[in-house]
Amino acid sequence: MLIKSGSEQMRQQNILLVLSGLRRHGPQSHTDLGTRTGLSSATVSAITVELEKAGILERSEQQPGAGRGRPRVLFSQARNCGYLITAQISSDAVQYSLVDYAGRLIDRFDEARRHDAQSTSRFAPQFREALARLAERSRLARDTVMAISISSKGTVDADGHRLLWSPLLGEQEIDFAALLAPDWRAVVTLSNETLLVAQALGIAAKPSAEDHALAVVSLGHSIGLGIARLRRHDEVEASAPNFGHMLHAPGGGLCRCGGHGCIEATAGFYGILRTAFQVPADTIPAKFVPLPEMDKIAQTARGGNRMAGYAFRQAGLALGNGLSRLMSFHGRLPIVFTGPGTRYFDLLAPGIDEGLSASHEVRLKGRPEITVHPDEQRLVFEGHLDRALTGMDQAIAEARLSPSEKRSA
């Protein structure tokens, strides 16, 4: 029985290797799959035949470049095998996207968000209505949607279903799996937004053994942190520590989380606005600061306004001090800054450098590599695709076990 169970697990692992290879590297031939996965030709043949018959993979022919010889047969995901819905909850809108199993975008729309109490109370039913509308627009049966992947700023429970706290909904807890269970059979997952950014950048960068991880800092209304680590088989493990609400200055400014002195209370948009206009530190934070308002503060800072410049420098210092603590625990990491706040990076950078220099690790080994990637929304979407479609691959690999195999596994 133990030998049989081991062979079943090996078979499932081999199927997943083939699906992962196609997911990471695109359409491939039988030979390419064998080389990339290390599986024998017979094993690859058996798997591709089985998955093609099940409608999970499809084949296409690629003509030789010189026009001679037999065409290459390439395997890829069958687009209509199943579907994914992503929902990106941001400060001013929720973006809904419908994607096929091959990762191709089919449909997308945005719904603007207001910031009053009535809008907050209506969020859950409006969310359900929007998902239903997305499926109806493409005339898809709901049971063909295999996964629904949701992201938000804030604190996500370990089960990946519940939003425990967010800057937009406050302490209004939402269990998205329970919310959608009556109408959807799909696997529902909830992720911190910056975790998905770290996932996307980790896949793209594939940090070397020397740089085994990278850190992502999201700048905007909220401050987020994601850390991506490279694991075996080019897999990336991402996490999202609660960086924005790490203590920066005891007894400092009031934060949206209800605490005092958090990094976000100084470095978030509302913190910068509060400092620039010399508003009392215990003033209730604004839920949303329009970008044009932030642009005006930045313009005056670049024009020499002392308090505006001071506000951005203090924000940078809070970020740099927080990152210096991160380096003390994790070593010197490459840092990627993203989000709408990157448009003010020139004003934040002096404070960030000053704060980083507080780390002994940085003083010994030098300033970490810092890059700026402003298109946060695209990175969030790419993170959704990688995590959710990989989850769909795993579900398919598990489903390929026969009933007797499932009972004994």
- The pair phi, psi for residue 81, each rounded to 5°, is -65, -35
In this prediction, residue 4 has a pLDDT band, given cuts at 50, 70 and 90, of: very low
Q: Which two tokens stand for residue 391?
A: 């989850």
Which residues are 85's β-sheet partners? 98, 148
CB-CB contact of 376 with 339 (8 Å) = yes
Average pLDDT, the chain: 90
Q: Give the pLDDT mean for 257-266.
A: 95
pLDDT digits (tens, 9 = 90+) for 281-324: 999 888 789 999 999 999 999 999 999 999 999 999 999 999 99
pLDDT at 118: 64
Q: Give the pLDDT mean for 377-405.
A: 86
CATH architecture of 81-185: 2-Layer Sandwich (3.30)
Please state, for a pLDDT cut of 70, what percent of the chain lies above it: 92
What distance in Å separates the CA atoms of residue 256 and residue 222, rounded to the nearest whole number? 9
For CA atoms 119, 123, 125, 130, give the dihedral sign: positive
Q: Give the pLDDT mean for 359-380.
A: 92
* Type of residue numbered 231: R
- Is pLDDT of 129 > 90? yes
pTM: 0.90
Class for the domain spanning 2-77: mainly alpha
Segments in 138-172 forming alpha helices (H) = none
Class for the domain spanning 196-374: alpha beta
pLDDT at 210: 47
167 vs 237 pLDDT, higher one: 237
In this prediction, residue 401 has a pLDDT band, given cuts at 50, 70 and 90, of: low
In this prediction, residue 409 has a pLDDT band, given cuts at 50, 70 and 90, of: very low
* Type of residue numbered 82: G
> b or e along 95-112 (b: 16 or more beta carbons within 10 Å of the residue's beta carbon)?
bbbbbbbbbeeeeeeeee
pLDDT digits (tens, 9 = 90+) for 101-126: 999 999 999 998 876 666 677 899 99
- Residue 215, H or E segment: strand 213-218
Domain ranges across the chain: 2-77, 81-185, 196-374
What distance in Å separates the CA atoms of residue 144 and residue 82, rounded to the nearest whole number? 5
3-state helix, strand, coil in the chain (%, to 5): 50, 20, 30
pLDDT at 34: 93
**Distances in whole angstroms, Cα of residue 324 to Cα of each of 302, 319, 320:** 27, 9, 6
pLDDT at 96: 98
β-bridge pairing 162-165 and 174-175 = antiparallel
Query: Could you check whether 81-185 and 196-374 share the same CATH topology?
Result: yes
In this prediction, residue 404 has a pLDDT band, given cuts at 50, 70 and 90, of: very low
What distance in Å separates the CA atoms of residue 307 and residue 313, rounded to the nearest whole number? 10
pLDDT-wise least confident of 69-73, 245-249, 327-331: 69-73
3-state SS, residue 166: strand
- Is pLDDT of 35 > 60? yes
* Type of residue numbered 102: A
pLDDT at 203: 87
Q: Give the pLDDT mean for 49-60.
A: 94
Among 8, 21, 5, which residue's Cα sits nearest to residue 400? Answer: 8
Q: Give the pLDDT mean for 148-161.
A: 92
Cα–Cα–Cα angle for 133, 139, 142, rounded to 5 degrees: 70
What distance in Å separates the CA atoms of residue 130 and residue 123, rounded to the nearest whole number? 10
